[in-house]
Structure 1
Amino acid sequence: MTLNQLTLVFCLFYFSLQSQNLKAIDSLMKLHEDNGFSGNVLYANKDSIVFKGSYGYANFEKEIKLNDNSKFDLASLSKQFTAVSILMLIEQNKLQYTTDIKTIWPNLPYNGITIEHLLRHQSGLPDYMDFLEKKSYWDQSKIATNQDIINLLTTSNFPLLFKSGTENRYSNTGYVVLASIVEKLSETTFEEFLQKNIFTPLDMNNSKIVRRIYKPDNDPNLTVGYFKKGNKNKPNYLFNDELKIYDGIVGDGMIHTTTTDLYKWIKALKNNTLISKSNTEKMFSGDAISSSTGFGLMIQDSKSLGKYVLHTGNWQGYINFMLYVLKSEEFVVILSNNSYEEYSLINNQLIKNGRQSTN
């Protein structure tokens, strides 16, 4: 544990003794801000937001402070939205968990990959980033789209990493394929599907897909991602120009939203607003291949929290964390745009002090 971490742990203990209220959480978050954190946080207990706060800058160069409406790139936190989109199609009888993806794209050179394999990261599909970054497969001056990934999988005969349904290995490719299935079966873009079926019904008015190079967006509430931790007055703008080739791809990332909109999202899952209780339970559960992998979420269990679902996201300076405890109905979101990696410490502090504030 670093000196800064020890200092924060001590401060947590100190503030817990001195004050069991929301000021303790705010004080702790300001310590994280001084340590390099820039982002928004939220802690909710059952049907109430106990605490939310903004610390740092949406744009350091322009000195634009973060606020409740600041939109962050969710990176892999986006996968749960892709999963629910698929479950909605299943409930519309357009798909089944056992549907083989060759029935959708007959020319794909893979046999036996089902929808559930894709949802649970059990497809064995190769990582699309591994072949997009090679000039022999992709023109590095072009931005790839989902259709380009499907075309490459169809024509290039990349071998599976393992036989589908026999192992569990995290797969961005699987969720790109799932988003492509949503587009094909709904006959609309993935962006339009999310807006019509999820964001608008849930009043997630600060949520949308953003592809900043492929489809420039001048939304003033968009944050900028940064790389360097430490001196908040001199961060390094992260954008890696080599990564622009991925900017047209959706399903595994690209959703931008706020902490409050994510609270609306988790409430909808809890209340079975979008999908049935049985499908929600399946989404929040593992299987025989992997007890820790749900649909777009990971599943854990601990003595202190019981069963909970979580996920992280990391892309272009954004590091995000989301956790939902099933029994106590506690929800934590940490969205950071300055590569701040101490989210596990922040999570523990939000839960501990948030619980004290509700007692």
Structure 2
Amino acid sequence: MRLRILLLSFLFIACKDKSKDFSQKNGTQNNQGEFFVSFNQLDKSYCNKQNKEISYLYNKLINKNDFYGQFLVAKNGKILFEDYEGFAYIEKKDKNHKNKPLHIASVSKVLTAAVVLRMVDEGKIGLDDKISKYLKGFYFDDITVRMLLNHRSGLRHYGYFIETDVKWDKKNRITNQDILDLINSGKIHLESKPGTRFAYCNTNYALLALIIEKVSGMRYHEAMDKLLFKPLGMKNSFVFDYEKHHDTVSQTYKASKLRLAFDHLDLVYGDKNIYSTARDLLKFDLGTYSNKFFSDKLRKEIFKGYSYEAKGERNYGLGIRLREWKEAPTLTYHNGWWHGNTSSYVTLKNDTVTIIALSNKMTHKTYQTKKFIALFNPIYPVKINDDKDTGGASE
């Protein structure tokens, strides 16, 4: 925390061009209200230098001629580089642009976790409360809220157990309540003993969405809007409602540009199904620096690793992935993949840098975003030319 305060206190001074400065014009001050954080402005020469370096690396790592999506890099709320390419809906000739929401896939988990964690700060939820306190009759009594957040519950992925254990009729779209009912039926066994190992599992976040509904007294869609999107000025963010949105939202495509259909899993929310923009996600990221958004006490719980049964630098906090390096500050990030949508949210808390990539046409290049951190601090052990570390569905 001391290091973060020092870095925030001694950053660079002002850019004259404020047209893309979210900390002064388009984000924190006007749209984030109580969560406003005042970042020092950046020197214009620094901004220009970074823009050129980011642009060069972007053109090298991501083929913009084949990219359908949004890409943004910011420091201290100042957008240093952004680009919007391709079509959100090819058949309607609807192009991607800065205000066009895209499906952010599992980056939705970061936002679901944020609402749960703010409820923890408000004393409405306890991290170590049992799930049965909120979801009455929950079958596995040892699982806690914390275990859902850090993927140590031992629960199995609903996409798998409905195939193998209950033979779900795919003509019917499954809901969060269906998932809970199946678990409570006793027909779904655990993959591991709760609290013993990490296993990334969408079921955890489908249940967290139900807890949000129980505690807030609102449907998840409404709760996310009232408790997160509106307070942060995320005007182009919403939770997908199939009946309302399926033919108006941005669509998802294979690499061949063949449009992918919605399926029986597309009603489940919490783990996915948030549509947002790179600029809105930047507003969210800036808000997380505010002590009014997360308390310092809770922040320590969020950004620490919980899974050390396997050696390595990869870990998971509460709703966020971590790279815990000995030689550099911890990297916090989350990737996503749903149908043809891929996403990456990378944030350097010590360097106040945000990197966001969203794509609605299938590509793994979205996961190249972690390589851009090398442009901000050479201490990070990331190799720009290393193609082995691009991330994937499990990321």
TM range (shorter): 0.7 to 0.9
In the TM superposition, residue 287 of structure 1 has moved relative to its aligned partner by: 2.6
Partner residue in 1 for 2:159: 129
Q: Distance in 1 between matches of 2:346 and 2:184?
A: 36
In 1, distance between residues paired with 2:165 and 2:187?
17
Counterpart check, 1:285 vs 2:315 = no
Q: Which residue of 1 aligns with 2:29?
A: none
- The one-letter code of the counterpart of 1:202 is L
**Aligned partners of 2:368, 2:133: CA distance in 1, in Å?**
46
* Corresponding residue of 2:245: 216
What is the aligned partner in structure 2 of residue 142 from structure 1? Answer: 172
- CA deviation profile, 1:93-146 (whole Å, cap 9, x unmatched): 222111111233342221211111111101001211113335944232211111
Identify unmatched segments of 5+ residues in structure 2.
1-47, 379-395
CA RMSD after TM alignment:
2.5
Give the Å deviation of 1:192.
0.8
Alpha-carbon spacing, 1:145–1:91, altered in 2? closer, same or farther (3 Å)? same
Amino acid in structure 1 at the alignment position of 2:293: L
Residue equivalent to 1:343: 366
Q: 1:226: which partner in 2?
A: 253
Q: 2:104 aligns with which of 63, 68, 74?
A: 74
- Give TM-score, length-normalised by structure 2: 0.76
State the shift of 1:63 in Å: 3.2
Contact 2:72–2:356 (Cα < 8 Å) also in 1: yes
3-state SS of paired residue (2:233): coil
* TM-score between the two structures when normalised by the length of structure 1: 0.83
| Secondary structure of the corresponding residue to residue 110 of structure 1 | coil
**Aligned position for 1:259:** 278
Q: Is the 8 A contact 1:41 1:52 kept in 2?
A: yes
Q: Are positions 1:237 and 2:264 aligned together?
A: no
Aligned position for 1:322: 345
What's the secondary structure of 1:173's corresponding residue?
A: helix
Give unmatched runs, 5+ long, in structure 1: 1-18, 230-234
| Residues in 1 aligned to 2:316 and 2:117: alpha-carbon distance in whole angstroms | 16
Asked whether the 8 Å contact 1:29–1:55 carries over to 2, the reply is: no
2:107 paired with 1:85: no
Q: Distance in 2 between matches of 1:104 and 1:69?
A: 36
User: How far off is 1:28 after superposition?
Assistant: 5.1
Identity %: 28
Give the length in aligned residue pairs.
Answer: 326
Contact in 2 for aligned 1:207/1:256 (Cα 8 Å):
yes
CA distance in 1, matches of 2:254, 2:247: 22
* Structure 1 residue 85: Cα displacement: 1.5
> Which AA in structure 1 matches 2:368?
L
Residue 294 in structure 1 maps to residue 317 in structure 2:
yes
What is the deviation of 1:202?
Answer: 0.5
- Write the distance in 2 (CA, Å) between the matches of 1:269 and 1:283: 11
Give distance in 2, aligned partners of 1:338 and 1:29. Answer: 17
The 3-state SS of whatever aligns with 1:198 is: helix
Larger relative contact order, structure 1 or 2 (CA cutoff 8 Å, min sep 6): 1
CA deviation map 1:27-50 (0-9, x unaligned): 654563356222111101123121
Aligned residue in 1 for 2:269: 250
Indicate the residue corresponding to 1:205 in structure 2. 235
- Gap change, CA 1:137 and 1:96, over 3 Å in 2: same
Per the alignment, residue 51 of structure 2 pairs with 22
Amino acid at match of 2:148: L
Correspondence 1:111 to 2:141: yes
What is the aligned counterpart of 1:276 among 288, 295, 306?
295
Of stretches 32-41 and 150-159 in structure 1, the one that deviates more from structure 2 is 32-41
**Does the 8 Å contact 2:344/2:358 carry over to 1?**
yes
Structure 1 residues 84 and 25, CA, compared in 2 at 3 Å: closer, same or farther?
closer
**Alpha-carbon contact 2:144-2:153 (below 8 Å) kept:** yes
